[in-house]
Structure 1
Amino acid sequence: MRERYIKLIIAVGIIAVVLGVYIYSMAPTASFWDCGELIACSYILGIPHPPGTPLYVMLGRIFSLIPFAREVAFRVNFLTALFGAISSALIYIVVLKLISLQKSTQSFRQRFPFIPHLAGIAGAFSLAFAFSFWDNCVEAEVYTPCVVAALLVIYLALIWRDKVEQGVGDNRIVLFAIYLLFLSAGIHFTPLMILFPLLVFAFMVDRKSILQLHIIELIILFLVIIAVAGLDLVDYFVLFLASPPVAILRIFHSNLLLFIVLVAIFAGYLYYLRSKKKMDSRYVFWGLVLIFLAGTVQFYLLVRSKLGPSINEVNPSTWEDFVSVLKREQYDPMRLYPRKTQFLTEGDYRNFPNSYPAFSLITGYFEQLKFYIRYFLWQWGSASNFDIFYRIGWQAIIGIIPVILGFFGMFTHFRRDKKSWWLVFLCFLIASVGLITYLNLKYSPSDPRSHLRFREVRERDYFYAFSYVFFTIFIGVGVFSFLNWIVPKLKLKRLYTIGVSVLCVIVMVVPIFFNYKGVTRRNNWIPAEYGYNMLVSCRGDKAILFTNGDNDTFPLWFVQEVPNRPSNYDPTFGKNIAVANLSLLNTTWYVKQLKEWGAPISFSLAEIDRLPQGLRGAGNRIFLLKDIMIRDIIATNAGIKLKWPDEYISPAKDFMTKVLDNYKEGMIAVYFATTVDRGENLADVEPYLRLEGLVNRVTSVNSPNQVDVARTQELFDMYKMNSMKDKNVVKDDNTRGLFMNYIASYAALSQEYQRMGRLDMAISTLKRTLAFDIDPTRKVPIYYNLSVYALLGQDYDNAIAYLDSVDALGYQDPDLLVRRGWIYQSQGNYPMAEQAYQNAREMAPNRPEAIQSLVSLYTENMNDTSKAIAILQDWLRRNPRDNNAQQMLQSLQPRR
């Protein structure tokens, strides 16, 4: 009893400590990527992107209603943090349980009863502060509740083993574990990865009972019947894992006879078990019932979708669409071969087998393994300190200690208790090597090899978070095994033993200091501010805003649907704007939702269903559905009817002539976010776009690089950017990339001021971009342009000062040295100009700019023709075919 209280107190203590760290580093609002969508869907009971995560949405809704913070997003983020802290406590409990199964260490545990607890705490903290897991715990994400479910099921499996070995097997534990596992699929499929390890573990613990259930034969029979009926085995397998009742109803819906056969088989199976008295059929019956009950959580998608929430992705309001979401048909099918890392570009991969891979299968697979190892080594040594592509800092030495202890624990665990070892190891293997093989990911976006262009849009370390979770179990066991070895080896006294044990725990806490900067979202309001700024840029009673992807769409949905600080908790803010995501605009369900909102779409709902996914148009251009809809929305808004299909796939010039040259804005203002790629997405409208802050408005004026100066200046004064400019807020690479959209708009406004002759406004506008925390090399063009403006205004001192700022960044470039020379030359400081040109010449001896500038300086300002001739002769010795230099030399020689 006393031991149970100690375990409870320590577990609660772990939750309190870890939760405190998580809350301190937690996002106060929505973060980028899926978080804004998940929070918005939780608040309005919407439907996020497939697989829909209905259980998470309902849990998020509950937390959003608990008024412990004004910010709704903070409440939903807290849900993730809480489950993350509970996961850490479960690691402690599982490690403690595994250590107790090691009979060979019993005397050591009796002598030092505190060591198993400290080992469990070490394992808990190694998970809590691992990079990817911590990163998932400080924002709204689906993974931490799944981790709790998986760890709880593993712990229940270990408890069940105890009961079986004591001869008092309790099948209620099995029933609850099965229910919990299938229920967790309502959040994400990842917990189902442990099904196979659980089956292997159960077979090793109680082989006779498992064989009596004839599970393998039953599965084989089920698959045979599905195959004979001509149904897709993979589809039904995925569907069954997502929701067993939906899978069975799907069979009933498609083939009544097959459904009756299956019901008869299961009924006969239960009767067989009962008649042979091989196992109490009641438990099997209730197991099936619980599996079916757990799967009913998915029906939320079907029911809620019919009510038309404002976020209703894929619109699974019909049975077929509902099944399609559960089967994830919206995503490309998984292909184990070829490996995506065998190809340099996406086009090459899509064209396989017509295109030949750049690398062999083994090389491609090795690249994916290499990235997993890279992510794995991030966890306790920080991505910035331990990166096999860039550098390994001294901090990595400490970060490698948990890894060594984990593998040591893996080794000693196998020797001392093989049954539980297989359970944890198989979970780790499937969550690492298994997922590497199944997911078949592209190259990492941070891969330094620039020729590898087939890349993921973001780092995918979080995909493998479950493998890090299972490895921390081995870390906890490894700490115990290390102490079990070192204490007797060195004959340590109790005080020293306590000291070494505590040191092991401290080592697991040290990653806090390494990883904090990479994971913290403290006081980071940037995504919500960005969503607000984008929406406030669109004026009019109604507007439609075309966006590019997740990070310029989900923050906007969040601001529209959830009360938040940037919008002053106004529930109506932004509701007059339809956010038209171009990726989703390739789907008919999304086009219909935009039409129902009031977007100017000429097609009827029935016609939209019949629209093709793509058409080949003029110049062999492929027009996707989104391209067709862009044309239709703009034309319909102007009251112009396009002929189907000819004028939807005509050359861009013809569309511009018919629609945009005569464009008269209708009831709805049409905008494109500045994040939209200036490629085919804007091919039909680009010359007619006018910049207004962070958006481009469609106009009737054909003039490239238009800027509405008054409106853009008004918006910049209106935008909320406090968090963006707060130096205490940590910004990641993704956020810094977002800042470039602001900087590009500031730069465009600055250039417009310069064209208007308002150099003071051009300089003050461009200087505002220096407040953004971006990579220093990206500040170089800002300082360069500031120097240009200062030179135009004959402000030579500041022109030089801006170039000095570039030097302070450690950036060296011959063009900047030539620019510096021009400034000195304009100022009349010829010796300094000569020095600058000479420096540029030494830095880039084969570039002509410095040579031309030196010749100009010597002949026009310093009256030293001999130096000019010497410079040209030296140049021509290395570049004898330079006709311009020869002509200049000939013109100078008679003047000697």
Structure 2
Amino acid sequence: MLALLRKHYAIATAAIVFIIYLFTLAPSVIQIDSGELAAVQATLGIAHPTGYPLFTMLGYLFLKIPLPFAKIYQANLLAAVWCALAIILFIKIFELLIKALASKSVSNKTKQRMKIIETGFTADQKIIAAIAGGFYLAFSKTFWMQSTSVEVYSLQVFLFTLIIFTTLRAHYSTENKITDWIYVGPALAFGFANHMTTLLTLPFAAILFFQKEKFTKQAFKKIGLTAVVSLPVLFLIYLYLPIRAASQPILNWGNPVNFENFWRHFTGKQYQVWLFASFEAAGKQLKYFLSNFPSEFAYAGLLLGIAGLVFLFKREKKLFTALLITLLFAVLYSINYDIVDIDSYFLLACIIFSFFIAFGVLQLMLYLKTKSLKENYSLAIVGLLCFVPLAINRSDADQSGTYTFEDYTKAIIGSTEPNSLIFSYQWDYFVSASYYFQNVEGFRKDVAVIDKELLRRSWYYNQLKKNNPAVMKKIEAESSAFVEAVKPFERDENFDPSLLEQNYRAVMTNLIGKNIEDRNCYIGLELFQNEMQRGEFTLPQGYQLVPHLLAFKVVKGTEYIPVPDPKFTIRLPKQKNKYIQFIETTVGTMLTYRAAYELQFGYKERAKVYIDKAKKDFPGYQIPYEILRGME
């Protein structure tokens, strides 16, 4: 049995990791893109830039497996699978590195012979070091989070390790064939077909390639052959976007049916405004990385990683250089992306640092050996260290009790009348989640959820016309005028900003004005507090907003508008992140607005219903003093 475990310890380690992941797996959608990506996989749609065709197709196939779970849970499960598979490859990579160190030959110029560098480690010590590195990676905060819910980064960490593995195999191959590096190409192609952070691995591949092959004619032939193999793979996978877009799927971000739309989507032009934005933004992200990085590995991992850096520097400077440059490049490039959810862009840096942690564990065992500590005791100490990140980071990564986004989304949509319109740009909390619940689970498909910010993009009108033809037909003139006005902007041509803004506001106002007779319209809290207060969005003449339950209802006249009791339930997890806190604050604020509205008409008992709901369900929300005083 022990012999079998020693032989297959990489799989055994990944199995343990996967089982632990199951206990922290999200049962439903969570924040940001979770709902959209699950819906894209389930409906074979097109996701936000860069489209993620490999992620979409693999997810679609996995969701076709008849498992007894909701589609969202099954999509989340696939994320855990990818992360566990990445741990197998991580351990296999470390085995390659240890083998290379153990058998590294150096030329003895005096005797013109080769000698073997003895590492001085037992087989069990090497296994423990590999497992320790795998555990520290698997249970680092950001990596662990990727395993809890559907995201492109869970597949990406697997592809990162695949690229590193194929690169090292080619680098350490003793054969000198033109096909040595041929498997690196498809690995890179798969990576780029999933996420553009694959470019962060290029320094690693380039350094190891030219360290071995030098700048020879044969080397460039190998590069050419690798390109010939990989580029068609990348091209064929990305063909999914225009082919699928031509059939007008329910979710068709970017509508990449022609080369112009495809290129805009493939290059992520929409997000380039945040890339290399300013030195100030880069400094802010670097400060965030440096302050957060020690806690990624539960602090103990940082010390082990530093020890591993020293260990590798002394024993194999070329490998040390390749790994360190890759880590630094991954960090320095990523800090130039000025977005809030930047953590996932540091995943490659976490993977590389985990190799240093594994080498640090070897260094620790070497130190314990010098103290005449028995091997069993040193293995026990290291074994205990393996569980440090598991114990410390679980509360941050655990999504097993997160139903908040499902409850919030269903409460908003469910509180509206049939065929209503909801205007919002709460993408991270509600809009993305609505994509899944409406288009996959079929929850209240009669309600049209319209993202106010996406209305600034020409492709979005195509998707709205497909999914809500009756709504969009009434503003055909306004939408056509805006689409024509925005095209020069999207093409980086000269455009009239005042005309563009005028047409955009006309779309917003007329979406309500020309549909209000047939369907009820609702405005999100964020629109009321921001755009409407600044005068950027106005209601049609004669209409006003009344606080409903979780949004503002557009009504005509000034008479009292009753609403049902707030019978919805929004479950909050024990560990609240900033996204959960936003929902808690938003719902509490809407209940308070409704209570204030009731007080305007003298209905104190009705006001009490909403305040009591806020107090009971959202104890963290601070009810304004003037509301409490008005109820006395």
TM-score for both structures, normalised by structure 1:
0.63
Distance 1:735 1:707, change over 3 A: farther
Give runs of aligned pairs for residues 861-880 of structure 1, distance below 5 A.
Answer: none
User: 5 Å matches for 1:369-768?
Assistant: 369-381=286-298, 399=299, 401-436=300-335, 438-439=336-337, 441=338, 456=339, 458-487=340-369, 489-493=370-374, 497-540=375-418, 542-550=419-427, 551-563=429-441, 571=442, 573-596=443-466, 597-598=468-469, 599=471, 600-603=474-477, 607-612=481-486, 623=501, 625-637=503-515, 665-681=516-532, 683=535, 684-685=538-539, 688-701=544-557, 703=558, 708-709=561-562, 711-713=563-565, 716-717=566-567, 719-721=568-570, 723-724=571-572, 729-768=574-613
Say if 2:228 is the partner of 1:293.
Answer: no
Query: SS of the counterpart of 1:331?
Result: helix
Amino acid at match of 1:577: V
Contact 1:402 1:508 in 2 (8 A): no
| Residues 624-644 of structure 1, C-alpha deviations (whole Å, 9 max, x = no match) | 65422112223333xxxxxxx
Q: 2:199 aligns with which of 186, 189, 192?
A: 192
Residue of 110, 118, 127 corresponding to 1:117: 127
Q: Deviations over 1:153-188 (max 9, x none)?
A: 222222223322xxx245555212211111221110
Over the aligned positions, Cα root-mean-square deviation in angstroms equals: 2.8
- Number of the residue aligned with 1:128: 138
Which residue is 1:452 aligned to? none
Task: Please list the CA deviations of residues 423-455 of structure 1 after superposition, one character each: whole Å capped at 9, or x if unmatched.
Answer: 32222111112322x42x3xxxxxxxxxxxxxx
Q: Deviations over 1:767-790 (max 9, x none)?
A: 221233564xx43637x744653x
Q: Which residue of 2 is the match for residue 46 of structure 1?
A: 45
Aligned partner of 1:212 in structure 2 is: 217
| In structure 2, C-alpha distance between the alignment counterparts of 1:773 and 1:128, rounded to whole Å | 34
- Bigger relative contact order, structure 1 or 2, given CA contacts below 8 A and separation 6+? 2
Quick one: structure 1 residues 68 and 499, their matched pair in 2 at CA, closer, same or farther if it must change by over 3 Å?
farther
| One-letter amino acid matched to 1:212 | K
CA distance in 1, matches of 2:379, 2:630: 63
Contact kept in structure 1, 2:482 and 2:504, CA below 8 Å: no
Q: Deviations over 1:475-507 (max 9, x none)?
A: 0011112212331x21223xxx22222322322
Q: How many residues align?
A: 603
In 1, distance between residues paired with 2:261 and 2:497? 28
Match of 1:869 in 2: none
Contact 2:405 2:430 in 1 (8 A): no
Report the CA distance between 1:765 and its aligned residue.
Answer: 2.8
2:421 aligns to what SS in structure 1?
strand
Report the CA distance between 1:758 and its aligned residue: 4.2
Distance verdict in 2 for CA 1:285–1:173, change over 3 Å: closer
Which of 242, 252, 261 pairs up with 1:321? 261
Give the fraction of aligned pairs with identical amino acids, expressed as a percent: 20
What CA distance in whole angstroms lies between the structure 2 residues aligned with 1:368 and 1:699?
44
Contact kept? 1:38, 1:141, Cα under 8 Å: yes
Unaligned runs of 5+ in 1: 216-272, 274-278, 342-364, 382-398, 442-455, 564-570, 638-664, 793-896
**Change in 2 beyond 3 A, CA 1:200/1:623:** same
Q: Which residue of 2 aligns with 1:88?
A: 87
Alpha-carbon distance between aligned partners in 2 of 1:732 and 1:690, rounded to the nearest angstrom:
30
Residues 137 and 774 of structure 1: CA distance in aligned 2, closer, same or farther (over 3 Å) = farther
Shift of 1:560: 0.4
Give the secondary-structure state (helix, strand or coil) at the position aligned to 1:697.
strand
Please say if residues 24 and 522 of structure 1, whose CA atoms lie closer than 8 Å, have aligned partners that are also in contact.
yes
Deviation at residue 681 of structure 1 after TM alignment = 4.4
**Matched ranges for 1:92-111 at <5 A:** 92-103=91-102
Structure with larger Rg = 1
**Cα distance change on mapping 1:336 and 1:526 into 2, 3 Å:** closer
Counterpart AA for 1:537: S
Q: Hey, what's the Cα distance between the residues in 2 that align with 1:479 and 1:286? A: 36
Q: Distance in 1 between matches of 2:502 and 2:280?
A: 24
**Within the alignment, does 1:161 sit opposite 2:162 as a pair?**
no
8 A contact 2:482–2:503 mirrored in 1: no
Task: Indicate the SS of the match to 1:699.
Answer: strand
The corresponding residue for 2:109 is none
- AA at the equivalent of 2:334: L
Say whether the 8 Å CA contact 2:160–2:198 is kept in structure 1.
yes
Find the counterpart in structure 1 of residue 66 from structure 2: 67
In the aligned structure 2, how far is the partner of 1:606 from the partner of 1:750? 41
Q: CA contact under 8 A between 2:101 and 2:119: conserved in structure 1?
A: no
Q: CA deviation at 1:525?
A: 1.4
* Equivalent residue number for residue 143 of structure 1: 153
